[in-house]
Amino acid sequence: MKIKFWGVRGSIPTPERRNSRYGGNTACVEVRLDNGTLIILDCGSGLRSLGRSLEREFAGTSLCGHIFLTHFHWDHIQGAPFFAPLYKESNQFFFYSIRRGEKELRASVEGQMINPYFPVDMSMLRSTRHFYDLDYDPIGIDSSVIVRPAPLNHPQECVAYRIEADGAAFVFATDNEPGSAFHDRSLRELSEGADLLIYDAQYSPEQLEAERKGWGHSSWLEGTHIAKECGVDHLLLFHHDPDHDDAAVDALVESARQEFPHTVGAAEGLEIELPNAKLRDGYHGTFGERRENPRFRLDVPVNLSWKEQNGDKQQARGMALDMSASGIFFLLPNSIPISRKLEVEVTLSNEITHSGDLTLRCAAEVVRQEGNHRSATPGTARRGIAARLTSLRTRSQSHAA
């Protein structure tokens, strides 16, 4: 089972440079099972980027996904109108929520598109969509996965989900305020023995005791209490406050590690494989590592070339996931051998640069390889390659206004 984060922020998107390492999109988490089943947790603004990625992956084929909503506050549904796969006729999606009538669930997801809030109406959504009102009993999507819901303490209600599949279990518990005996007990029962707990840590303990009390959110301290009491293997702090930049989140993570060492901060682009996760801080760093250069999330093709020992030139195509002024991280099929020295070519579209297409050609030196980044395409495993850039050439092409 692979978990990937597309949005980790709470309350409102904050696409600001000061948040570039952890990310500014609101809640959206992708879960991909070993058999290819796609599960999406919440539809915050991160859903847009997930949709673009799925369009590339499933180009020419149909897509089926299961979407579980924790609740209907804006930061957990605002990405739905921008989720491109909803507009494709051959795609099929199953929406789930707790204790909501079918009409209310559907209206909450699609009601953002009515006049005067959105320029495109619901008739443009060509996909087939199903809506399910759940109680708190466990449900099976298919024979390979069980989803267990539990109530959380949050205004207008919220729900946590425990997903059990592929020999692992993790809990997604966002938007929860401790202090209600019923909800505290419910969440602890859900978290018992989980490989991973993704937990609301929007506020500091001091904020939670003072000006943010009653706002429906939690702190890193409560997350560490749950993790220790319930035998959780790893804790991910999630739903970062819009006023907390990268440095502030770093500080919360460091404080949490004093209580529960296996703690990291959720970051956009972070991928975790369960069971036996080896979690890393931020995107691909180690515990406690802080990069000097800002690293920007990508999801674009990369062209690679290198020379074998006999002088023959080889070429391959991978997928770049992030890049800084000094390095690049990309995925490559396990079957392709690669040398230490590379030529790398990446084209950043006008959609990314806002000043025309930009092609980067870099000389690079491989510094690390990480095995078995499971591809979303069944049967193809990929490994991660981290390379240090040793020279850089650019070519830009401006777009007419």
Element (H, E) at 302: strand 296-307
Domains (ranges, CATH) in the chain?
2-273 (3.60.15.10), 296-397 (2.30.110.10)
Tell me the one-letter amino acid at 331. Answer: L
The 3-state DSSP class for residue 171 equals: strand
The 3-state DSSP class for residue 396 equals: strand
Element (H, E) at 206: helix 205-209
* Structure tokens, 194: 């989980």
Q: List, edge to edge, every strand of the sheet that includes 196-200.
A: 139-142, 145-152, 158-165, 168-173, 196-200, 234-238, 263-265
> Within a 10 A sphere around the Cβ of 209, how many other Cβ atoms?
11
Q: Report CA 239 to chain centroid distance, whole Å.
A: 11
What pLDDT score was predicted for residue 395? Answer: 66
Buried b (16+ CB within 10 A) or exposed e, 343-372: bbbbbbeeeeeeeebbebebebeeeeeeee
Peptide bond into 275 cis (omega under 30): yes
Residues 6+ apart with CB under 8 A from 328: 302, 320, 322, 344, 346, 362, 364, 386, 387, 389
Residues 6+ apart with CB under 8 A from 208: 177, 178, 217, 218, 219, 222
What pLDDT score was predicted for residue 375? Answer: 47
Peptide bond into 13 cis (omega under 30): no
What pLDDT score was predicted for residue 360? Answer: 86
* Structure tokens, 177: 């305020």
∠ CA 63-323-399, rounded to 5°: 75
Q: What is the dihedral of CA 204, 237, 257, 219, to 10 degrees?
A: 20
What pLDDT score was predicted for residue 380? Answer: 53
Q: Measuring CA to CA, how many Å separate 103 from each of 127, 289, 297?
A: 18, 48, 37
Name the pTM for this structure.
0.72
Residues 6+ apart with CB under 8 A from 391: 362, 363
The 3-state DSSP class for residue 339 equals: coil
H-only helix segments in 237-356: 246-259, 350-353
What pLDDT score was predicted for residue 146? Answer: 95
What pLDDT score was predicted for residue 350? Answer: 74
Tell me the one-letter amino acid at 259. Answer: E
What pLDDT score was predicted for residue 401? Answer: 41
Q: Could you tell me the mean pLDDT of each successive run of 10 residues in the chain, 401 residues long?
A: 95 89 95 95 96 92 96 92 94 89 74 83 87 90 91 91 96 94 96 97 88 82 96 96 92 93 94 78 36 66 86 87 82 79 85 76 79 51 78 62 41
216's torsion region: left (phi>0), alpha (psi -120 to 50) or beta?
left
How big, in percent rounded to 5, are the helix, strand and coil portions of the chain?
20, 40, 40
Q: How far apart are the first and last CA of the chain?
A: 44
What pLDDT score was predicted for residue 400? Answer: 45
Which residues pair with residue 397 across a beta bridge? 357
Inter-helix orientation angle 220-230/246-259, to 10°: 30
Contact 293, 325 (CB under 8 A): yes
